[in-house]
Structure 1
Amino acid sequence: MPHNADDATPPPRGCNGKIGPGDASGEQPEERLDSASADDSPNKHLNDTTVADYLREHPDFLVRHPELIETLVPPERRLDGAAGGVVLDLHRFMLERLRGEMRGLRDSHDFLVTTGRSNMSAQARIHEAVLAILSAPTFERLIETVTDDLAILLDIDVATLCVERRAEDIDASEFEGGEIKVRGLHRVDVGTVTRLLGPKRRLLLREEIAGDIDVFGPMAGLVRSDALIRLSISPVTPPALLALGARQVGAFHPQQGSELLEFLARSLEITVRAWLDLPD
Structure 2
Amino acid sequence: MSAVSPQPADPAYEAQVADYLAAHPDFFLRHLELLESLRIPHAVGAGVTSLIERQLAQLRSRNLSLLQRLHELIDVARANDRLSSRMHQLALTLIETRELDELLLAIARILRDEFEADAVSLRLAARPLGTCAVPGVFVSALDLDPLRGLLEAAKPLCGPLEAELAQALFADAGVASAALVPLHGGLWEGVLAVGARDVQRFGPGLGTLFLQRIAALLEQALDPHLDTPVD
Sort the TM-score into its range (normalised by shorter chain).
Answer: 0.7 to 0.9
Q: State yes or no: 1:77 paired with 2:43.
A: yes
For 1:128 and 1:45, locate their aligned partners in 2 and report how far apart those are by CA, in whole Å. Answer: 64
Is the contact made by 2:101 and 2:133 (CA closer than 8 Å) also made in structure 1? no
Q: Report the counterpart of residue 5 of structure 2 in structure 1.
A: none
Q: Report the counterpart of residue 258 of structure 1 in structure 2.
A: 208
Is the contact made by 2:123 and 2:191 (CA closer than 8 Å) also made in structure 1? yes
Q: Report the counterpart of residue 162 of structure 1 in structure 2.
A: 123
For 1:62 and 1:249, locate their aligned partners in 2 and report how far apart those are by CA, in whole Å. Answer: 53
TM-superposed CA distance for 1:137, in Å, is 2.0
CA 1:272–1:113: 2 relative to 1, 3 Å:
same
Q: State yes or no: 1:96 paired with 2:46.
A: no
SS of corresponding position for 1:46: helix
What is the root-mean-square deviation of aligned Cα atoms in Å?
3.2
TM-superposed CA distance for 1:91, in Å, is 0.5
CA 1:92–1:152: 2 relative to 1, 3 Å:
same
Q: State yes or no: 1:203 paired with 2:133.
A: no
Q: State yes or no: 1:243 paired with 2:157.
A: no
For 2:70 and 2:21, locate their aligned partners in 1 and report how far apart those are by CA, in whole Å. Answer: 30
Give the TM-score taking structure 1 as reference length.
0.63
Is the contact made by 2:156 and 2:181 (CA closer than 8 Å) also made in structure 1? yes
Q: Residue 227 of structure 1 is aligned with which of 179, 190, 196?
A: 179
Structure of greater Rg: 1
For 1:93 and 1:198, locate their aligned partners in 2 and report how far apart those are by CA, in whole Å. Answer: 57
SS of corresponding position for 1:137: coil
Q: Report the counterpart of residue 218 of structure 2 in structure 1.
A: 268
Q: State yes or no: 1:45 paired with 2:12.
A: yes
Q: Report the counterpart of residue 85 of structure 2 in structure 1.
A: 124
Whose helix proportion is higher, 1 or 2?
Answer: 2
CA 1:160–1:186: 2 relative to 1, 3 Å:
farther
Q: Which amino acid aligns with 1:115?
A: V
Unaligned runs of 5+ in 2: 1-9
For 1:67 and 1:130, locate their aligned partners in 2 and report how far apart those are by CA, in whole Å. Answer: 50
For 1:250 and 1:67, locate their aligned partners in 2 and report how far apart those are by CA, in whole Å. Answer: 43
> How many residues get paired?
209
Is the contact made by 2:117 and 2:196 (CA closer than 8 Å) also made in structure 1? yes
Unaligned runs of 5+ in 1: 1-42, 80-86, 170-179
Q: State yes or no: 1:61 paired with 2:28.
A: yes
